[in-house]
Amino acid sequence: MATYQIEYSCGSNIGLCRKNNQDNYICLGQYRDLETDITEILTGTTPIGKECVFGVFDGLGGEEFGEIASLIAAKRIRNTVFDRKLKEKASAYCVEANKAICDYADENEIFAMGTTAAFLVFAKKEILLCNIGDSRIYFFSEDKMEQISYDHVLLGTQYAKPPLTQKLGIREEELVLDPFFSSGTYREGDVFLICSDGLTDMVPLEEIKEIVLQEETQNCASVLIEKALENGGRDNTTVIVCKVIGKSKKRKETKNG
């Protein structure tokens, strides 16, 4: 029986320049309710051996529509049960969330709306990563920091911010939905950061690394968000930091793009 636990901190901030917060998250079943818009940092430790999901969603398509798209994605994943066949469940979730966003856009005559998605599923025997778009997931071990998600962006363009090639909200006639997956095992002390580009666009990676490796997990989300605000806060910023505590198996990773 697995005896791991996940210590976490999670937060989302509108930033200094936006009118709305288009980001959302999933943190042990909690997400940003647009009516109450909880802004405090969520911290805690998961029950021993409990399957759990942590994820970030960055809405696209205008402040109001992006906010709705990320909310749809967060609500959908909350109702997804990841009890077995994690990749199949994650793939099915992406298809369902994508359709729900497209249906909402069609019903409300919205030309384009969507959201990124980057999430981790911690199960008893493995961890699954899934991402669509450019919200990122980083892995930390000892003094190392590695991006383990894949940026779905159009490279070699003249744009300062490369356009996305994937999102939740792709119509069938436009593109084929193609999430990135990676899976493996984990061990005590492993740390993961899930974040929207409001963090990575505002805070240098070396500084992010230093904060995550030096701060207590329960403080990480608030410190990272404050740093993004100090550096200008041009976008919404959402951050989740997860640390594996307790006994777990030696890590063995496999990747499938």
Q: CA-based Rg of the chain, rounded to a whole angstrom?
A: 17
- The pLDDT score that the predictor gives to residue 142 is 83
Per-domain residue ranges for the chain?
Answer: 5-256
Q: Out of 3.60.40.10, 3.40.50.300, 3.30.1180.20, 3.30.110.40, which CATH number does the structure's domain 5-256 have? A: 3.60.40.10
**pLDDT per residue as tens digits for the range 104-151:** 999 999 988 999 999 999 998 899 999 999 999 999 988 899 999 999
Q: How far is CA 12 from the centre of its chain?
A: 11
Question: Is the distance from CB of 222 to CB of 8 less than 8 angstroms?
Answer: no
The strands making up 42-45's β-sheet, listed across from edge to edge, are 42-45, 5-13, 237-245, 191-195, 136-141, 144-147
pLDDT of 257 higher than 80 = no
pLDDT of 255 higher than 70 = no
- The pLDDT score that the predictor gives to residue 14 is 94
The average pLDDT across 188-209 equals 97
For the chain, give the number of residues: 257
- The pLDDT score that the predictor gives to residue 254 is 46
- Residue 59 buriedness (CB in 10 A; 0-12 / 13-18 / 19+): buried
Distances (CA, A) of 75 to 156, 190, 201, 210: 35, 27, 26, 33
- The pLDDT score that the predictor gives to residue 244 is 95
pLDDT of 248 higher than 60 = no
- The pLDDT score that the predictor gives to residue 48 is 86
Mean confidence (pLDDT) of the chain = 91
Extract the tokens encoding 105: 């856009």
Q: Hey, how many other C-beta atoms are within 10 angstroms of the C-beta on 244?
A: 20
CA distance 194 to 230: 20
Question: Is the distance from CB of 181 to CB of 220 less than 8 angstroms?
Answer: no
- Helices 217-230 and 205-214 meet at what angle, rounded to 10? 150
